[in-house]
Amino acid sequence: MINDRLQNRRWIIAGIITVVVLIYIARLFSLQIIETRYKQGAESNAFLRKTIYPPRGLVYDRNNKLLVYNKPAYDVALIMREIHDLDTLAFCRALNLSKEYFIERIAEIKDRRKNLGYSSYTPQVFMSQLSIEDIANFQENLYKFRGFYIQNRTLREYTYPHGAHILGSIGEVSRRNIEADSYYRQGDYAGRDGIEYTYESSLRGVKGVEILLRDSKGRIQGNYRNGEMDEAPKAGTDLYLTIDIELQQLGEQLMNGKVGSAVAIDPSSGEILAMVSNPAFDPSLLVGRQRSVNYASLVKDPTKPLMNRATQAQYSPGSTFKPIQALVLQQMGGITERSLFPCNGPGSSPIKCSHHHGSPVGLLNAIEQSCNPYFWYGFRAAIEKEGYGEKNLLFKKHYQEWIDAMKSFGLGQKFADSDIFEQTSGNIPSQKFYNRYYGETGWRAMTIRSLSIGQGEVLVTPLQLANSMAAIANKGYYITPHLNANDTMQVRRHQTVVDSSYFPVVIEGMWRVFEYGTGRHYKIPDISMCGKTGTVENSRGKDHSLFVGFAPRENPTIAVAVVVENAGFGATWAAPIASLMMEKYLKGALERTELFERISTSTTNPDVKKR
């Protein structure tokens, strides 16, 4: 069988192999012996591809005020192999360094464990991010220091010392960045957090390249083909934010000396007008040579200034939860506009009321007076409306209905389609959670009664709270809250499950809070406002002071949520801060300067560094 006719085919295969090898040898002959152009190529024309960095996109606020721009900075680089006869003393004097630092730095560069890409033939960064003042003296004397170069860079500069959490910062790319995106090279900068991170790919632009010729000793001989093959860099795209920097500034001033957050949203568009988190810091601290020192001290600060409390901190909403609760309970049929429930003030059971007011209570009064028993009875009526059923399944079905309704207001989850960096999801506790905790049938309305008044396991972020106000202001829907004013992808409408007919009574109740209730001292004259205060018990000291609201009552243009941690009554701190921010946005200026002075100069937490 082995002696088949196909055996001859081995010669054809051998022939193909031989022909290919011969062609390659001929090609080698032509490249290496006949053509001279490649030889010259190597001896006189080696290419040096020099990267030209594009200017990063600028950032403006909603009124076209410049927030972030670029300033030039300089790196000192060296090519180890080209350094000859260096006058170390003169060099150190020119850059104002100690000789010890110089020796240490050179050793660091040569250490392959620390500097993985080291080669004595390629440029290595010796010092980075120097200002023009630092570099001026050195530049004059550069000709004396063979092997040293100056590379141009740009750094971020900020017009206002505000909005650091929103803007974020840029920093040198990590090895992981480089592996993930082939655009980056070691030493490049990229957005680390905030909008610098979210919009990195449009802000960064496109790097250009200049092709230089150099001889075998590394000396630059000029541009290859007179720059014909160079590629010009493409500048980054400018970014227009939804933020009103003056409102942001006011918010940060009001929160001075306090811990917490204030968020303002334009309900009609979902545009975030201000997003304050305090303690805050000046964004320019995280730029340039001082970055690492400043960053380390911010990390160590026990009040956690780097954390964006507006999106990353979660709180029990307490009484500020009642407006949404009132909407959801109406939708579920637990209460109606006319329902009345008894209240015994502080003697009520199982949930006490913090106020003395008439009994029985209706919905309007319950919101205005923040009546706890009313919401407990309503909550129980809604989820127990068909009893418990077999294995509590009917009860659980209605509890799930409650969860879904809450989630339709954007609670208990991140805004997945938003451009906001680093959110936490908050918590609307799931059935699974209680099943695990109490067993499949071990929990009833009574077990989870704290949910009815926004305490217990329910957690929200200030951003979610402000957004839920936007949904009430819009009578039933919200637009994904976002930061980029020109990104239409962000404008997504989310309908809540609550019918629009249930809104007027809740809005009326919230209006009464400002007319007769806890907010009455902070009403802006001639603007009809809606709101709700909250005083939230928590495990770490004094109560949190909360406020939510929107204004004007007709066609609202601003929805606000304010949280001041461990400060006391909602009406004392959060309400005036929110009211002042609404005044600033609606009227353009503050008339209540005395109130502003009092709030902005008082401190609720002595650990917070005043700014």
Which position among 89, 107, 136, 229 is part of the footprint of other proteins (CB under 8 A)?
A: 229
- The DSSP symbol for 459 reads B
506: left (phi over 0), alpha (psi -120 to 50) or beta: alpha
For residue 77, the minimal CB distance to other proteins (Å) is 16
Site string for other proteins, 45-64 (x = CB under 8 A): -xx-x---------------
Burial, 144: exposed, middle or buried (Cβ in 10 Å; 0-12, 13-18, 19+)?
Answer: middle
| Cβ count near 269 (within 10 Å) | 17
**Which of residues 81 and 99 has its CB atom nearest to other proteins in the complex?**
81
Q: Would you call 234 helix, strand, or coil by DSSP?
A: strand
For residue 57, the minimal CB distance to other proteins (Å) is 25
Distance CA 266, CA 474 (A): 10
Residues 360-419 that bind other proteins (CB under 8 A): none
Which position among 43, 104, 108, 597 is part of the footprint of other proteins (CB under 8 A)?
A: 43
20 binds other proteins (CB under 8 A): yes
Q: If binding means CB under 8 A, how many residues of this protein chain bind other proteins?
A: 50
Distance CA 445, CA 396 (A): 10
| Closest CA relative to residue 505, chosen from 331, 315, 274 | 331
Distance CA 117, CA 186 (A): 9
- The DSSP symbol for 460 reads B
**Which of residues 7 and 539 has its CB atom nearest to other proteins in the complex?**
7
**Which of residues 113 and 432 has its CB atom nearest to other proteins in the complex?**
113
Q: Would you call 423 helix, strand, or coil by DSSP?
A: coil
For residue 117, the minimal CB distance to other proteins (Å) is 10
| Closest CA relative to residue 382, chosen from 403, 361, 365 | 403
**Which of residues 231 and 440 has its CB atom nearest to other proteins in the complex?**
231
35 binds other proteins (CB under 8 A): yes
For residue 583, the minimal CB distance to other proteins (Å) is 52
Site string for other proteins, 66-105 (x = CB under 8 A): --------------xx------------------------
598 binds other proteins (CB under 8 A): no
Which position among 104, 140, 231, 607 is part of the footprint of other proteins (CB under 8 A)?
A: 231
For residue 442, the minimal CB distance to other proteins (Å) is 39
Residues 105-124 that bind other proteins (CB under 8 A): 112-113, 119-122
Residues 466-525 that bind other proteins (CB under 8 A): none
**Which of residues 86 and 527 has its CB atom nearest to other proteins in the complex?**
86
Which position among 33, 84, 589, 606 is part of the footprint of other proteins (CB under 8 A)?
A: 33
Evaluate whether 86 touches 145 at the Cβ level (below 8 Å): yes
Region binding other proteins by CB under 8 A among candidate stretches 27-35, 68-76, 130-138, 588-596: 27-35
Region binding other proteins by CB under 8 A among candidate stretches 35-43, 154-162, 185-193, 319-327: 35-43
Evaluate whether 267 touches 467 at the Cβ level (below 8 Å): no
10 binds other proteins (CB under 8 A): yes
Q: Would you call 197 helix, strand, or coil by DSSP?
A: helix
Evaluate whether 59 touches 241 at the Cβ level (below 8 Å): yes
**Crossing angle of helices 322-332/462-473, nearest 10°?**
50
| Closest CA relative to residue 570, chosen from 530, 531, 539 | 531
24 binds other proteins (CB under 8 A): yes
Region binding other proteins by CB under 8 A among candidate stretches 16-24, 164-172, 365-373, 431-439: 16-24
Strands of the 46-52 sheet, one edge to the other: 46-52, 208-214, 220-223
221 binds other proteins (CB under 8 A): no
226 binds other proteins (CB under 8 A): no
Which position among 38, 433, 437, 438 is part of the footprint of other proteins (CB under 8 A)?
A: 38
Site string for other proteins, 166-205 (x = CB under 8 A): -------------xx-x-----------------------
CA distances (Å), origin 57, targets 152, 202, 234, 236, 463: 17, 8, 10, 4, 27
216 binds other proteins (CB under 8 A): yes
| Closest CA relative to residue 250, chosen from 553, 595, 520 | 595
Intra-chain end-to-end CA distance of the chain, in Å: 94
Q: Collect all residues with Cβ–Cβ distance below 8 Å to 595 and sequence separation of at least 6.
A: 522, 576, 580
**Crossing angle of helices 99-110/88-95, nearest 10°?**
100
Given the rule CB under 8 A, which residues bind other proteins?
1-2, 6-7, 9-10, 12-14, 16-18, 20-21, 23-25, 27-29, 31-33, 35, 37-39, 41-43, 46-47, 49, 80-81, 112-113, 119-122, 179-180, 182, 209, 211, 216, 224, 229, 231
